[in-house]
């Protein structure tokens, strides 16, 4: 089984989200797009590299929401199912991804909502652009 390993981060210059490979060095982070390996010696060629805000870097978790959008670490998801509805942020702990519920507070495994690469939730924001979502009243 192969899985996509990619990251996102907000560009320091434009504030636009960039998606691709992660490069970190001396406390700084960059997203590399359009990277290729050429020739017999496997020389890398990088078309574009963007320095990003390190605190906004998040990894794609190989799951899409109910609308088909890719879910990244730091996204805020909403699950609506009558009395069992909640808002949660995507976080990593140990060896797996978790949903840390904001309202009501609890922690869930993606396995509870996962079906064939898709979760029965939708992305409603992220903790970087929507920090107020972390302050939802209990």
pLDDT tens digits, 26-58: 999 999 987 676 666 766 666 788 999 999 999
Q: Is residue 18 part of a domain?
A: yes
Query: Quick one: which of 110, 42, 43, 101 has its CA closest to 76?
Result: 101
How many structural domains are present in the chain? 2
Q: Can you give the pLDDT at residue 8?
A: 97
- pLDDT for res 20: 94
112 burial level (CB within 10 Å; 0-12, 13-18, 19+): exposed
Question: What are the tens digits of pLDDT across the range 99-122?
Answer: 887 876 666 666 666 666 667 789
Q: Token digits for 34?
A: 């359009």
Domain that holds residue 35: 7-55
* CATH code at position 94: 2.30.30.290
Task: State the pLDDT at residue 69.
Answer: 93
Peptide bond into 118 cis (omega under 30): no
> What mean pLDDT do residues 68-93 have?
85
Residue 94 and residue 50 share a domain: no
Distance of alpha carbon 134 from its chain centroid, rounded? Answer: 16
- On whether both 86 and 127 belong to a single domain, the answer is yes
Query: What's the rounded mean pLDDT across residues 89-100?
Result: 81
Residue 1 reports pLDDT greater than 60: no
- State how far the Cα of 32 lies from the Cα of 23, in Å rounded to an integer: 7
Instruction: Tell me: do 127 and 66 sit in the same domain.
Output: yes
């Amino acid at each position: 089984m192969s899985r996509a390993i990619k990251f996102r981060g907000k560009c320091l210059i434009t504030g636009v989200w960039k998606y691709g490979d992660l490069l970190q060095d001396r406390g700084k982070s960059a997203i590399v797009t359009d990277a290729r390996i050429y020739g017999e010696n496997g020389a890398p060629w990088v078309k574009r590299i963007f320095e990003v805000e390190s605190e906004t870097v998040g990894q794609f978790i190989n799951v899409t929401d109910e609308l088909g959008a890719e879910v990244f670490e730091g996204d805020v998801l909403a699950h609506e199912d009558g009395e069992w509805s909640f808002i949660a942020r995507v976080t990593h702990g140990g060896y797996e991804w978790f949903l840390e519920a904001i309202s009501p507070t609890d922690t869930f495994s993606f396995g509870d909502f996962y079906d064939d690469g898709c979760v029965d939730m939708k992305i409603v924001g992220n903790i970087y652009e929507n920090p107020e979502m972390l302050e939802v009243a209990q």
